[in-house]
Amino acid sequence: MNLNHAYGIPPSAEEGGRLLNRALDLGVTLLDTAALYGAGQNEKLIRASVIHRRREFTLASKCVLDMYDGKRGLNGSPAAIAATLDAALQRLGTDHIDLYYLHRLDRNVPIEESVGALARAHEAGKIGAIGLSEMGAATIRRAHAVHPVAAVQSEYSPVVRNPEIAVLDTCRALGIGFVAFSPVARGLLCDAVHDDIYEAEHDIRRAMPRFNGENLRHNLKAVAAFNALAARIGATPAQLALAWVLSRGDNVVPIPGTRSITHLEEDLGAIALDPGAEVLAEVETIFAPGSIKGPRYSAAMQAQIDTETFADEELA
């Protein structure tokens, strides 16, 4: 996502292509994109830069969130899903996507109908496995009853713990992989956020209350303690955050995004990091309930989230 969408001015296609190829060279085997990212430009970037190395990686993309008549929209109808998928295949330059997610829950369409559309795409050979993104335990079970769900993707990091309410247990019970997006908390846990002045209007953190004003100033106190802990064990903050996510279970896979080859290489260093139980417990103490102030989404974005919330969680 970072290469075309959401965090300010994106890198050039050439820079993005170099990063993707470097990721494959280093052994990365999962590339995650979506129709929404850059209004299809991210899928086109994958085609232009790495689709010739197709056998080296699992390709994941998403539907339901897409651009409709030039505007971002949410449509989980079977017709919209089929149209988004066909357009994605064309943009990606392939006839098969390995893992295809419903990006968000469209509350106007029964989940059974949306999953049914993906099941038919699977039968037609257009997609392999079926995934869900930011959906709660009850929805996951309903979807899984229609067709086996292979992966559930939600935001998860030491800062954002919502999947621990019910989703992680549901995934374990049903044999579903869990994919953690924003595992470094949208830059908070890689020493990349120091104030609330972002580089462009298109940085989505402008609309996220915990990244602005007094909320951010409060949150950076916990982040400073986390950074100090990482330094104490000879790791970067990003590596400690990723090691924490990797410790949550064999079925948990983090997908850190970056626009920097240096940061990519740093992130991959987390694989060899074993902080130990005491350090992991310290991470959880630093980010104990109440340590982070401000909702994680704006009201409009939260309305599209089905993942469970904590009883005392601030919501926009």
Mind telling me the catalytic residues?
Answer: 37
| Distances, alpha carbon 202 to alpha carbons 5, 7, 10, 292, in Å | 8, 6, 10, 24
- Rounded to whole angstroms, how far apart are CA atoms 21 and 215? 38
Look at residue 305 and give its three-state secondary structure.
Answer: coil
Which run of H or E residues covers position 213?
helix 213-232
Question: Which tokens is 236 given?
Answer: 């970067």
Question: Which tokens is 161 given?
Answer: 């713990």
Look at residue 193 and give its three-state secondary structure.
Answer: coil
**63: closest CA among 20, 127, 18?**
127
At 275, give phi and psi (nearest 5°): -70, -25
Beta-bridge partner residues of 100: 61, 130
Close Cβ partners of 11 (under 8 Å, ≥ 6 residues apart): 3, 19, 259
- Rounded to whole angstroms, how far apart are CA atoms 161 and 313? 11
